[in-house]
């Protein structure tokens, strides 16, 4: 096989794993750390987008099996070798240096990863953002973005715009917010925010997370704008299992004869590449078989995997194809924030050469790379993963995307044409024409120039409720991997 010249596909280090076996055939074997490290090295050597940045991933890095084994044994955990083998190169974004690879990751439970791809997670229903205090950057408060129906938060009366600054009586700060918000059950201490000062109310609410499946099509409605029907869609994740629900929303828009679409991606951190192609085809429809995006893999894989993704007019669902409900629009308004990432940005970039994309809100995250799930199997595919003796899987960056005119590498994100940040003291009601970001888009449609009234004060975000998901701010390639030769 091309990707390893000196070693067999599976490396068995007998002196390390003998104790992991049992004469009873019903006992499942357990992989050693060295075996898992072997899977990680081979997977990254084969697929990693930034392979040439990492000297330890070179095909000729090791002169013998013994040297290779010694290298693997030098890492006590799979996470350690994975981090060591990621690119350390940086690029300049504004006044900062950022790593070219901020988004590759590894998990120790691929079942949880697969559930996350399907929109399944442990959730109390309170979707929130976390930002620094305006007058004390070491302190953090949370604001509720939206609440999922049928969840504990909905039952307890939590609503958009609620502010909290403590969990279990402890003030949130930059050192503890991850640990406190990761708990399955906690009490949030409610507060108010007037734009400057956080004031505790003395009230608290107990919330408990349970497994929940989130439909990313959160709001789909048609509103009257100057006598014309305008579609408003709040879409919170590119989750392939809900592509049909997304298509159904566009069927309603089409039947309403909408003249414009306002696509709300402000909280959408990304997801399926395929879903982004479908969504772009629903917005348009007149560009079937033209290039939506191009893929650049590493030099070893480019000839085999590097393809152009085309606009399509059908959705693949199991073994069937469903016609896409297209609006044939020549412009689209997209609401964004710093939480808009990966597949959200792919839609912006892919549509930009074809139609007028008017971005309203704040600068996006800046992610143009996609990852793929690698399992410990001969083909790195899902089939047979249960036999590996462990549940590790990798999600390394394997490709970067460009649009039909070659634009890529937007590390700094996309800047809005109409700049407006959310006002945490007055978030408004999602889907209401007076909600600030939606109103700014409607103003633009109507030709009203009221930008001077828009909020441009932005508090620094430190995270949000989805940051514990294994697919947080990621874009993943969901085609089947062909066999590697």
In the chain, domain spans: 14-93, 120-211, 217-456
Token digits of residue 107: 């998990």
pLDDT of residue 1: 37
Whether residue 20 contacts residue 34, with contact meaning beta carbons closer than 8 Å, is answered with no
The strands making up 331-336's β-sheet, listed across from edge to edge, are 217-225, 228-235, 260-264, 331-336, 356-361, 418-419
One CATH from 3.40.47.10, 2.30.42.10, 3.40.980.10, 3.30.200.20 for 120-211: 2.30.42.10
pLDDT of residue 135: 92
Give ∠ CA 187-113-76 in degrees, rounded to 5.
95
pLDDT of residue 140: 98
Q: 3-state DSSP call for residue 63? A: coil
pLDDT of residue 16: 32
304 half-sphere exposure, CB direction, 13 A CA radius:
14
CB atoms closer than 10 angstroms to residue 476: 22
Q: 3-state DSSP call for residue 436? A: helix
pLDDT of residue 281: 98
Q: Report how far residue 41's alpha carbon sits from residue 43's, in angstroms, rounded to the nearest whole number.
A: 6
Token digits of residue 446: 């109507």
Q: How far is CA 137 from CA 131, 174, 190, 414, in A?
A: 9, 8, 20, 26
**Strand partners of residue 164:** 142, 190
- Domain 217-456 classified CATH 3.90.226.10? yes
Q: Which residues contact 110 (CB under 8 A, 6 or more apart)?
A: 373, 375, 385, 391, 392, 393
pLDDT of residue 22: 37
Intrachain domains 120-211 and 217-456 with the same fold: no
pLDDT of residue 474: 57
The mean pLDDT values, 10 residues at a time, for the chain of 485 residues are 36 33 47 96 97 97 97 97 97 89 91 79 93 96 97 98 98 96 97 96 97 94 98 96 96 98 96 94 98 96 94 90 97 96 96 98 94 92 91 94 96 95 94 96 89 76 84 60 44
Token digits of residue 184: 């399955």
Whether residue 361 contacts residue 335, with contact meaning beta carbons closer than 8 Å, is answered with yes
pLDDT of residue 115: 82
Whether residue 412 contacts residue 394, with contact meaning beta carbons closer than 8 Å, is answered with no
pLDDT of residue 11: 36
């Amino acid at each position: 096989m091309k990707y390893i010249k000196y070693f067999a596909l599976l490396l068995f280090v007998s002196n390390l794993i003998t104790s992991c076996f049992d004469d009873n055939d019903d006992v499942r074997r357990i992989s050693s750390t060295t075996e898992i490290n072997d899977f990680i090295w081979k997977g990254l050597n084969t697929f990693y987008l930034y392979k040439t940045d990492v000297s330890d991933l070179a095909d000729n890095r090791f002169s013998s099996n013994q040297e290779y084994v010694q290298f693997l044994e030098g890492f006590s955990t799979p996470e350690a070798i994975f981090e060591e083998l990621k690119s350390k190169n940086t690029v300049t974004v504004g006044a900062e240096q950022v790593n070219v690879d901020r988004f590759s990751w590894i998990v120790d439970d691929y079942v949880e990863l697969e559930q996350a791809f399907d929109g399944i997670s442990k959730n109390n229903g309170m979707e929130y953002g976390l930002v620094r205090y305006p007058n004390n950057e070491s302190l953090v408060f949370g604001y509720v973005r939206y609440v999922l129906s049928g969840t504990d938060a909905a039952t307890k009366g939590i609503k958009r715009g609620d502010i909290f600054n403590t969990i279990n009586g402890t003030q949130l700060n930059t050192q503890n917010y991850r640990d406190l918000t990761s708990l399955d059950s906690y009490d949030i201490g409610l507060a108010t925010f007037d734009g400057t000062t956080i004031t505790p109310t003395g009230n608290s609410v107990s919330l408990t997370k349970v497994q929940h499946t989130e439909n990313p099509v959160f709001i789909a409605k048609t509103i009257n704008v100057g006598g014309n029907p305008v579609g408003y869609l709040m879409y919170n994740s590119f989750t392939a299992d809900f592509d049909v629900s997304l298509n159904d929303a566009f069927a309603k828009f089409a039947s309403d004869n909408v003249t414009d679409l306002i696509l709300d991606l402000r909280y959408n951190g990304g997801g399926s590449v395929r879903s982004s192609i479908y969504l772009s085809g629903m917005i348009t429809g007149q560009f079937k078989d033209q290039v939506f995006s191009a893929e650049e893999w590493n030099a070893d894989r480019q000839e085999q995997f590097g393809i152009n993704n085309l606009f399509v007019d059908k959705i693949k669902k199991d073994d069937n194809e469903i016609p896409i409900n297209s609006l044939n629009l020549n412009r689209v308004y997209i609401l964004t924030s710093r939480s808009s990432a990966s597949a959200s940005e792919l839609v912006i970039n892919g549509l930009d050469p074809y139609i007028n994309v008017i971005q309203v809100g704040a600068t996006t995250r800046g992610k143009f790379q996609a990852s793929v799930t690698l399992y410990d199997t001969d083909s790195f595919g899902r089939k047979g993963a249960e036999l590996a003796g462990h549940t590790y899987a990798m999600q390394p960056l394997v490709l970067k995307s460009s649009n039909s005119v070659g634009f890529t590498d937007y590390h700094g994100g996309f800047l809005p044409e109409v700049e407006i940040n959310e006002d945490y003291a007055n978030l408004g009601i999602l889907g209401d024409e007076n909600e600030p970001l939606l109103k700014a888009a409607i103003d633009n449609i109507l030709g009203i120039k009221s930008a001077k009234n828009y909020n441009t004060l932005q508090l620094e975000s430190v995270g949000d409720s989805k940051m514990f998901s294994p697919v947080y701010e990621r874009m993943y390639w969901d085609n089947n991997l062909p066999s590697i030769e």
